[in-house]
Amino acid sequence: MILHIAKKEIHYNLTTLRFALMVILLPVLMIANALIYGYGDDGYITQVNAYNKQVEKKLSHVETYAAQGLGELAVIGPGDMPKRPSPLKFSANGTDEVIPRYVIMQEYGTASRSAKAGKFEAYAWKGPWTLRYPLNSFDEGSATHRIKIDWVFIGVLMSFFAILFTFDAVAGERSSGTLSLMMSNTVSRSQVLLGKSIGAFLTLMVPLVIGILMNLLVIQLSGSLSFDSGTSLRILGMVGLFGLLISAFIFVGLFFSSRVSNAITSLVWLLLTWVFLAFVFPNLLGIFVGNLNPIPSVDEVSLSREAQLNQIMDQFQPWGAYGPWGGSGETSSKLNQAPSTENPSATRQWATYFTAQKGIETKSLDEHIDKQFRQVQLARDLTQVSPIATFQYAMEGLANTGIVSYMNFVKQARRYRQTFIDFIKTEDRNDPESLHIYPVKEGLSQKPVDPDAVPVFEERVSYRSVLSQVGLLVLFNLLFFIVAQVSFLMSEIK
């Protein structure tokens, strides 16, 4: 009986104008998506070529400074770390245009000091490198003012079609009298509800799967993507996410359709609910979280950092009491001697100064972006009350795009930062001629380093967050099914 009701529902849906609209609009959007991401100026191939050039530049950087000695490499750092582009960006763009594709490993810069009145030894130094995150240097306006036709957008559209195919599933038949006729047979309300949901689900999923196959075919022909086993599994997972989102909104549609007396009222309530879940609720929560826990601006953080650095400068006075420009040079500076292998005491003083300076820089930069990440995570956690937001985050997780992808990338960059420092210290301990004083160039080994021995940064994709989002979508389906079932059981047939 369930299959009979499902077949009847499918046959009815195939004859409606909304089905014709869907089968026209869906292929157009899927092909447009494939053309944009397959043949666009900033397509995957272009991004991969740029990424490979950055990797080659990084390798050349390591080779150059490794040949100059371990101390030089330790101070200058391993170079910028590019983020690998995602081959599945077409499925979930994740506002990647405003998210950096690299993390900068930047030195503090070079400085020099001349001998003054015999009080200072001439010394030109390089401040040790630190990890910098160029997140705030990107203009978000160019990425947020236009709609991106990716699979997430198509998923939102499919959730809209789900309510279009269910708003009159019960209310329409109640108004026409066919519902009472159907219930006069030996069929339960549970079977009717399940049959209608299966019919609507197949009506929506079959054209969607065909559209996805067309999309992948065009992308394959463009040469932008080769489908290996891992990519294919992620695409299958995305199809499953489509199914969970569509079925959740089918149950929402059946709930409202069974609660009201006519189809028009059901449609109005469903449209309001869909707009609220898709647009109003996520945006309001984003504004609320931003106002609830405001993050200091870049200028405020920079001023605070500069104030702390000035305190370190006043304490150690690397330029002398009168600064780098002018003055007699009369000073009690702790750094009046240049570091060298013959002067371990002066080398340790400079190491203390550099360590304090680097510690302030690292703490300030790390804490600022961590606050941004916590705010983003809080907003994401709250907006997952909406199944549409949960679907979007799960798609971005499988595609390895979006802000969470960058958050994972930054965490791995930090781990690599420590790995590189540990490598420098380990290599330095093997040189008996070294003073073993980090991070001063003169306090470390001056011998060349094998560039192949330098640790290589490797980005690893994590899908841990996707599991919780899939669980939430399953929970939404169970909750909405139970609510629709109870609503239908309590409703009047006539």
Q: Which domain holds residue 475?
A: 2-490
Task: Name which of 271-280, 294-303, 339-348, 434-443 the model is least confident about.
Answer: 294-303
Assigned token pair, 23: 């089968």
Assigned token pair, 115: 């001998």
Give the residue-averaged pLDDT of 246-254: 96
Which pLDDT does position 314 carry in this prediction? 85
Judge whether residue 295 has pLDDT over 90: no
Q: Which residue has the tokens 């109005």?
A: 268
Which pLDDT does position 236 carry in this prediction? 96
- Going by pLDDT thresholds of 50, 70 and 90, the confidence category of residue 402 is confident
Judge whether residue 286 has pLDDT over 80: no
Pick the more confident residue, 226 or 117: 226
Which pLDDT does position 237 carry in this prediction? 96
Which pLDDT does position 490 carry in this prediction? 85
Pairing state of beta strands 110-113 and 130-132?
unpaired
Give the residue-averaged pLDDT of 136-148: 46
Task: Name which of 138-152, 203-217, 381-395 the model is least confident about.
Answer: 138-152
Judge whether residue 159 has pLDDT over 90: yes
- Going by pLDDT thresholds of 50, 70 and 90, the confidence category of residue 139 is very low
- Going by pLDDT thresholds of 50, 70 and 90, the confidence category of residue 274 is very high
Task: Name which of 12-16, 116-120, 252-256 the model is least confident about.
Answer: 116-120
Please give the mean pLDDT across all residues of the chain.
Answer: 86
Give the residue-averaged pLDDT of 320-332: 48
Tell whether pTM > 0.95: no
Nearest to 152 by CA among 418, 488, 394, 338: 394
Domains identified in the chain, total number: 1
Which pLDDT does position 96 carry in this prediction? 61
For the beta carbon of residue 61, count every other beta carbon within 10 angstroms. Answer: 18
Which pLDDT does position 268 carry in this prediction? 94
Residue-wise pLDDT for 416-469, tens only, equals 999 999 999 999 999 999 999 999 999 999 999 999 999 999 888 888 889 999
Which pLDDT does position 61 carry in this prediction? 93
